[in-house]
């Protein structure tokens, strides 16, 4: 990989987790307290679960491409399509829902905050794992080059 990876700051890591947890919790609490039929609640729950998975998959596949890992065009397209489909289905569902405009806005914002948080958390985890692996390799190279040769007596 030709790019330099900075270690995510503790503040960014914390903000990413807060965004993910706050968005997902707000969305789920709002859904639990909503005056909807159970099948409607299930629809919105599946959308956030699918959206979180799709956004993490998209972040991973984009990062794979940047790192030079072979990525098939079909999977790359499916990841983009999945994120777009989730947002489109949420928009259609909320447009047709019998909810106040403020409630619709609440669900949209909580949904998007959750997706942003999931992408950020995934990025942080990947960056820290990359740095951990490379620091381990650098450490092994450093120690093997500085150790005296093992001579037999």
- Secondary structure in 3-state letters for 24-52: HHHHHHHHHHCCCCHHHHHHHHHHHHHHH
- Is 3 a member of any domain? no
- Is 129 a member of any domain? yes
Number of structural domains found in the chain = 1
- Is 127 a member of any domain? yes
- Is 55 a member of any domain? yes
35 in Cβ contact with 135 (< 8 Å): no
- Is 120 a member of any domain? yes
Per-residue pLDDT of the chain (153 residues; tens, 9 = 90+): 446 778 899 999 999 999 999 999 999 999 999 999 999 999 999 999 999 999 999 999 999 998 889 999 999 999 999 999 999 999 999 999 999 999 999 999 999 999 999 999 999 999 998 888 888 666 555 555 555 555 555
Q: What is the pLDDT of residue 67?
A: 85
pTM of the model: 0.81
- Whole domain around residue 82: which residue ranges? 10-143
Q: How many Å apart are CA 79 and CA 58, to the nearest integer?
A: 5
Q: What is the pLDDT of residue 142?
A: 54
- Is 121 a member of any domain? yes
- Is 132 a member of any domain? yes
- Is 37 a member of any domain? yes
């Amino acid at each position: 990989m030709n790019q330099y990876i900075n270690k995510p700051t503790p503040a960014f890591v914390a903000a990413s987790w807060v965004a993910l947890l706050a968005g997902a919790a707000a969305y789920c609490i709002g859904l639990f307290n909503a005056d909807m039929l159970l099948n409607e609640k299930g629809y919105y729950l599946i959308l956030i679960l699918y959206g979180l998975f799709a956004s993490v998959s998209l972040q991973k596949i984009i990062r794979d491409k940047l790192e030079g890992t072979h990525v098939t065009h079909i999977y790359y397209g499916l990841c983009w399509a999945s994120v777009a489909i989730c947002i489109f289905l949420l928009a259609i569902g909320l447009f047709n829902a019998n909810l106040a405009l403020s409630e619709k806005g609440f669900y949209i914002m909580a949904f998007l905050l959750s997706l942003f948080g999931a992408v950020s958390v995934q990025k942080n985890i990947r960056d820290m794992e990359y740095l951990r692996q490379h620091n381990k390799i650098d450490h092994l190279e450093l120690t093997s080059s500085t150790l005296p040769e093992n001579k037999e007596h």
